[in-house]
Structure 1
Amino acid sequence: MIGRTVVEHPVGEPGEGPYGVAVTRDGAVWFTLVHGGRVGRRDPDGGLAYFSLGEGAQPSQLAGATESSVWVTDTTGNRLVHLGVGGDGGSGSGGSGDSGRRIVLVGAVDVPTADAQPFGVVALDDGTAWFTELGADALGRIDILGRVEEFPVGRDGSFVSMVAASGDDLWFTLNAGNAIGHVRGGDAAIAFTELPSIRSGPVGVAIAEDGAVWVAEILADALARVSRDGTLTEFPLPAGSKPHAVAADPADGVWVTLWGTGQVISVADDGTLAPHDLPDPESEPHGVAVAEDGTVWVALESGALAELAPVSASA
């Protein structure tokens, strides 16, 4: 039987709002301060460093790109920023820290379509990255040379939100379109899976180890699961729970943040739900990521990162 200890780590300034979170292969935890225009990085030893994207920036989502770097969507800046690490401590290139390694700018890529509002992002093993465009109802792709190509999804007003990948398969949510999009290979046509609830508001999406796709339906207080054979199943959640982000757990199933009730739930491949209460029910959990050692990290808009570490216990 595996239990969890929950520890909160304050980050940033009051009101900056940790929103997205990702763990890179070097064990660092990266997070966006969506209202502060900054990106933060927490070293495995707890040291913190920050990088400002400039006045008016809105870093939203981020995804591990390499062993120690991330892609970040700047939604209001209409660009994606590639951040990595430099020397220990100090500041430079907009980065600063206390005992953490300095964050440096690797590169930045502008989105060709004006006011496209890039939001979700995922990095692939081939060095490319895909992102969603809230304002343009499109997907974008950054190739290994930094060139951007955009692909309209063909549904106006669908509010393309978050994206996940497995191999060259892409899945993404259409928040206002009540559907999930799927591209099997970058050049394939987009296929859509309609969600049963009339007004579901799909947001977070993740692909579990068994190949099933899990989606958070924030307006329907439910989770949707699409199996590899295309079977769709909905799992109701308590009223007002407002599921937001989803992250695959290499051991089994997925983790989902419940923004409305201040909880995180683990969901097994068979749909079994296990809730985990956070210390503050008003903490507004948003982004969630799972590290290689099984630790779950959650971005709390109240101003902290929650660390849910696994603890072995006798049954």
Structure 2
Amino acid sequence: MSATIVEHPVGEPGEGPYGVAVTRDGAVWFTLVHGGRVGRRGPGGELAYLSLGEGSQPSLLSAATESTVWVTDTTGNRLLHLTPDAAGGLSVLGTISVPTPDAQPFAVVALDDGTAWFTELGADALGRIDILGRVEEFPVGREGSTVSMIAASGDSLWFTLNAAGAVGHVRGGDAAIAFTELPRIPSGPVGIAVAENGAVWVAQILADALARIARDGTLTEFPLLPGSKPHAVAADPAGGVWVSLWGTGQVIFVADDGAVSSHELPDPESEPHGLAVAANGTVWVALESGALAELVPSSAPD
């Protein structure tokens, strides 16, 4: 699979694009983790920014509605619901404080029922925001596990336990948590996504490998090149997943059978982190070097 890659500089030097999300209106949202700001690239390429305040650390985002996103402020121990405004800027629709002090909310995923779930790095827990803005927290029962990234499929939640080398699964919000232990030690699971066929893909940043958990629970691992450091995973609407390789400055597409197509970013030291796939198949990648990469696969629909 070939692809065209274009880089779009965003933010100020050193601000560090980290997370990225695409809303259904065609906008690309991103966090500037070292700059304390969130940005939005509109469908026409126009840029808007919102500062979350001194000492904030916007980490990851999730599309919430047609045009709005949830973003975590890890050091601020809060989540914010953001929207574009009529003046061409960005505004806060709501701010949700996490009840547990220093919980360090990190990843977030919005569900179709209007709720949002998030991970707590510092509290080994999940959090849920209901449609009225109320927060419940659910300890995962494994101390020191560093609950990291999260994905959803219907009402099922999947999340990585970075320090524990495991993946958690909740089939419905009130169900007991089931764990899948990853055999590689250390594995350091971070990014996670549910593919169109229901398989769950996990990036093992410390093991330079991917894990695939089939719907029947079968675990398959796919080794990558040493030093590749897979970070984020995003499902492609046509099947398979995309993965950012932080260590080698690449983005790869992995088909369900494990076949890999590699794409070199223009700068091998660009440090790709978060990525998201738009409905038309375009892949957006946050490069900590200071840009968003727009990757258009040759097979993406017009």
TM-score category of the 2 structures, normalised to the smaller one: over 0.9
The 5 Å alignment of 1:187-202 reads: 187-202=174-189
Letter of the 1:31 partner, please give it. F
Cα distance in 1, alignment partners of residues 183 and 122 from structure 2: 25
1:32 aligned partner: 31
- Unaligned stretches of 5+ in structure 1? 89-100
Q: Select which of 93, 97, 109 maps to 1:106.
A: 93
How many angstroms does 1:44 deviate by? 1.0
Q: Say if 2:274 is the partner of 1:287.
A: yes
Q: Select which of 212, 229, 244 maps to 1:257.
A: 244
Letter of the 2:91 partner, please give it. V
Cα distance in 1, alignment partners of residues 299 and 109 from structure 2: 32
How many angstroms does 1:160 deviate by? 0.2
How many angstroms does 1:276 deviate by? 0.4
Runs of 4 or more above 6 Å deviation: none
Cα distance in 1, alignment partners of residues 229 and 212 from structure 2: 16
Cα distance in 1, alignment partners of residues 299 and 269 from structure 2: 28
Letter of the 2:141 partner, please give it. G
How many angstroms does 1:182 deviate by? 0.1
Q: Select which of 141, 161, 172 maps to 1:174.
A: 161
How many angstroms does 1:312 deviate by? 5.2
Cα distance in 1, alignment partners of residues 240 and 256 from structure 2: 4
2:81 aligned partner: 82
2:12 aligned partner: 13
Q: Say if 2:152 is the partner of 1:153.
A: no
C-alpha distance after superposition, 1:127-148 (max 9, x if no partner): 0000000000000000000000
Calculate percent identity across the aligned residue pairs.
80
Cα distance in 1, alignment partners of residues 198 and 210 from structure 2: 16
- Unaligned stretches of 5+ in structure 2? none
1:94 aligned partner: none
TM-score (norm 2): 0.98
Aligned length: 300
* 3-state SS in 1 of match to 2:89: strand
2:151 aligned partner: 164
Cα distance in 2, alignment partners of residues 63 and 190 from structure 1: 23
How many angstroms does 1:102 deviate by? 1.4
Letter of the 2:117 partner, please give it. W
How many angstroms does 1:310 deviate by? 2.8
RMSD over aligned CA atoms reads 0.9
How many angstroms does 1:226 deviate by? 0.1
Cα distance in 2, alignment partners of residues 215 and 163 from structure 1: 10
C-alpha distance after superposition, 1:85-114 (max 9, x if no partner): 1114xxxxxxxxxxxx31111000000000
C-alpha distance after superposition, 1:50-74 (max 9, x if no partner): 0000000000000000000000000
Letter of the 1:14 partner, please give it. P
Letter of the 2:262 partner, please give it. P
2:190 aligned partner: 203
* 3-state SS in 1 of match to 2:231: strand
Letter of the 1:247 partner, please give it. A
1:134 aligned partner: 121
* 3-state SS in 2 of match to 1:198: coil
Cα distance in 1, alignment partners of residues 192 and 184 from structure 2: 17
C-alpha distance after superposition, 1:27-50 (max 9, x if no partner): 000000000000000011100000
1:237 aligned partner: 224
Over 3 Å counting, the alpha-carbon distance change for 1:230 and 1:37 in structure 2 is same
Letter of the 1:225 partner, please give it. R
2:263 aligned partner: 276
